[in-house]
Amino acid sequence: MNEKAINRKVNFEDLGLIAYKDAWEYQEKLFNEITRAKKEISEKESRQAVTPNYLLFCEHNHVYTLGKSGSADNLLINHLQLQAKKAEFFHIDRGGDITYHGPGQIVGYPILNLEYFVTGVRDYIFKLEEAVIQLLADYGIASERLEGATGVWLDTGTPRVRKICAIGVRTSRWVSMHGFAFNVNTDLEYFNFINPCGFTDKTVTSMEKELGAKQEMEKVKTALKAKIAGVFGMEIV
Number of C-beta neighbours around residue 117 at 10 A: 21
Tell me how far apart the alpha carbons of residues 227 and 202 are, in angstroms, rounded to a whole number: 27
> Please, how many CA atoms are within 13 Å of residue 53, restricted to the half-sphere of its CB?
24
Contact between 168 and 99 (Cβ < 8 Å)? yes
Residue 197 annotated in active site? yes
Tell me how far apart the alpha carbons of residues 204 and 166 are, in angstroms, rounded to a whole number: 10
Three-state SS at 197:
helix
Contact between 215 and 208 (Cβ < 8 Å)? yes
Selected catalytic residue, list 166, 197, 204, 231 = 197
- Closest Cα to residue 197, out of 94, 106, 82? 94
Q: Which amino acid is at 175?
A: V
Sequence-distant (6+) residues with CB within 8 A of 232 are 117, 118, 127, 131
Catalogue the active-site residues: 197
